[in-house]
A and B are shown apart, each in its own frame.
Chain A
Amino acid sequence: MNYFIAIKDNLSQIFAVVEKDLKLHTRFKLPVIMSIISPILSFILPLVIMGQIFTFNENFGPWTAQNFAVYILTAYQINIVVKIRGRFPSQFATEKVWKTLYAIIIAPFNRRNLVFGIYFTHMIINAVPFTIFFILSLIILPISILSIISLFIFYFFIALIFSGIGLFLGALAISKPSLTPLVNLGISIIYIFSCLSYPFEFFPENFQAFVIFDPFYYLFDFIRVIWIYDDIFLSIVTHPFHVFLIVGGAVILPLIGLWIFNFIFNKYGIIGY
């Protein structure tokens, strides 16, 4: 019975964070509308330019002029999901100034609920552009229901991984803001070789070695693999390392992120305000 009460209490706290964050987010309507329109508009230009590449070469790996739009669309879907990494530091930095972060930190509730609250808020806020990109991908390259469900599960895992990274960045935003640009630079470099926006085959051979050592590449590539294979079992069997990284990362990184957050926060507290 106590177990159910604990679950109810935790869910209530998570939803409280979500409700509050959504109300703060929708306080001014125009930025909300723009946050939906902007990614959709920004998708068109890369598609046009990158589409031209297939006039020089018929295909790059599995990607052809016919399905390349899916590559670009999944890049936008992934980008929306991994943007959660930036939500933690930006929200923590804002609430640090408002001094409301202090109120939350000293409340007798598990900081894990705060993480889930921010996580779900991000998902809800970005649900519209994500759904649009997802439906467009489905129209261009239809896949089975099982693949769609699998994709959502793996997107969920990827979001968890980036929540862990976000928590680490969030802790820096509170306690060591001067280090944030340095860490962001490191992450940006990893992004460059992650094949998020360009297929592996686009990279010159010398640079492909960097891609192979880039952990983000395996996270993002698996989403494309599911889409191209349209067979989740085959995708898993042929890409076990990808799956291992995603599932392992989804379990470990949020825990490490929370541990680092607690460690940095306990050591340095809220610095600057």
Chain B
Amino acid sequence: MISDSNIVETFDLTKIYKLKGKKGKIKALDNINISIKEGEIFGLLGPNGAGKTTMIQILTTAIQPTSGYAIIDGFNILKKPLKAKSRIALMLGREMIYYRITGYDNLKFFCKIYKIPNYKEKIYNMAEQFGLENWLDQYVEKYSSGMKMKLALCRTLLLNRKLLLLDEPSLGLDVKLKKYLIEKLKNVDSTIILTSHDMSFVEKLCDRIGFINEGKIIKIGTKEDITKAMQSKIQFEISINHKINELKKDLCNQNYIKEIYESSHGLMVTIESRKYFKNLLSVLGNYDVLTLKEQELTLEDLFINLI
């Protein structure tokens, strides 16, 4: 349930790293202003080096911003870092667990430093939910990748924080596990901010998505919002019986056509805006068109178009 109040707000958050030697500086984050509502699942997408991890590190107070600040559940991360930290649980893929002790000892350790009461019962309940109950007494080094990921997620959820920061939670998971993870995360009461390269995972899970590139948020909204905002590019798949080259030539002469190429399914045509759809239809009326299909923009298409 998404509430009206913000749990995370950033104000001109900027992080500058000095490069070695006299190579200058790099802006990992550039005046980031975002707000995330309580209960929301927010996906942060961006290419490698876009600033996703820096953002997570600042929110967890592991590093300090060069300028700007963030408020987490009412606490400024610079002025009240302990209070802000007490609201957060972080999952860094399958990292942040000790491989040389057992799964149970890992969970127990983190429960204790996060002051979780009655942790023993909670650990077994959580492990049972993730099918790890028979593995709790084994050293983590014996776990498979998927099991390590499950343990890392168990650890994060056990801490029972208001805000979960998940960095690449689906990395290396098979399709079945991913589906399982989506179901689990959808039923979590906490607010979730996640970063991922897995577009379908983000698409299925997130209420809102933010695209980040070169330290700047370049687009933010629901998947539908972003798609709508990008309606200037609409792609169609056209299959015709014959005269494909003639049609191609004809379409090339239309100035509203942005892109045209042949694919295994037929002709792929991109028009600038939906308002030119009628014009396209009038051209197609002269040909024996078998199918005309509008290509739905996937998150991956949006991502590629945006960066």
Contacts and interface: CB of A to CB of B under 8 A. Distances in A.
Interface of A: 9, 12-13, 15-17, 19-20, 23-24, 27, 98-100, 102-110, 113, 266-267, 269-270
A176 B176 CA distance: 43
B306 interface: no
Contacts of A20: 98, 101, 105, 109
Contacts of A17: 113
Nearest to B78: A266
Contact of B62 (A100, A105, A267): A105
Given A20-B101, A107-B85, A269-B63, A100 B115 contact: no
Interface in B38-85: 57, 60-64, 82-83, 85
Contacts, number: 75
A132 to B, nearest CB: 28
Interface size class on chain B is 20 to 34
Contacts of A113: 113
Interface stretch (B89-97, B200-208, B264-272, B289-297): B89-97
A16 B98 contact: no
B101 A106 contact: no
B109 to A, nearest CB: 5
Nearest to B112: A16
21 contacts: A12-B112, A13-B113, A13-B115, A15-B112, A16-B109, A23-B101, A24-B98, A98-B95, A99-B92, A100-B96, A100-B97, A102-B92, A106-B60, A106-B61, A106-B62, A106-B90, A107-B85, A107-B110, A113-B113, A269-B62, A269-B64
Given A103-B96, A105-B62, 16 more contacts: A9-B115, A13-B113, A15-B112, A17-B113, A27-B139, A98-B99, A102-B95, A102-B96, A103-B90, A103-B110, A104-B113, A106-B62, A106-B90, A108-B86, A113-B113, A270-B62
A23 B101 CA distance: 7
Contacts of A23: 100-101, 105
B105 A266 contact: no
Nearest to B105: A23
Contacts of B112: 12-13, 15-16
B56 to A, nearest CB: 10
Nearest to B54: A269
B277 interface: no
B13 interface: no
Contacts of B92: 99, 102-103
A159 B60 CA distance: 32
A17 to B, nearest CB: 8
B180 interface: no
B287 interface: no
Interface in B94-129: 95-101, 105, 108-110, 112-115
Most chain A beta-carbon neighbours within 10 Å: one of B83, B90, B113, B114: B113
A269 B57 contact: yes
B59 to A, nearest CB: 10
B88 interface: yes
A103 B88 CA distance: 11
Nearest to B109: A20
A16 B64 CA distance: 28
A27 B105 CA distance: 12
A109 B114 CA distance: 7
- Nearest first, the 4 closest Cβ-Cβ pairs linking A and B are A16-B112, A108-B86, A103-B96, A99-B95
Contacts of A110: 82
B98 A100 contact: yes
Contact of B100 (A9, A16, A24): A24
Contacts of A27: 100-101, 139
Contacts of B82: 108, 110
A30 to B, nearest CB: 15
A254 to B, nearest CB: 20
A105 B110 CA distance: 12
A16 B82 CA distance: 19
Contacts of A106: 60-62, 85, 88, 90
B20 to A, nearest CB: 11
A110 B115 CA distance: 12
Nearest to A105: B62
Contacts of A16: 108-109, 112-113
B40 to A, nearest CB: 21
Contacts of B108: 16
A44 to B, nearest CB: 33
Nearest to A28: B100
Nearest to A8: B115
B51 to A, nearest CB: 15
B79 to A, nearest CB: 13
Nearest to B97: A100
Contacts of B90: 102-103, 106
Contacts of B100: 23-24, 27
A98 B113 CA distance: 18
A24 B62 contact: no
A28 B114 CA distance: 28
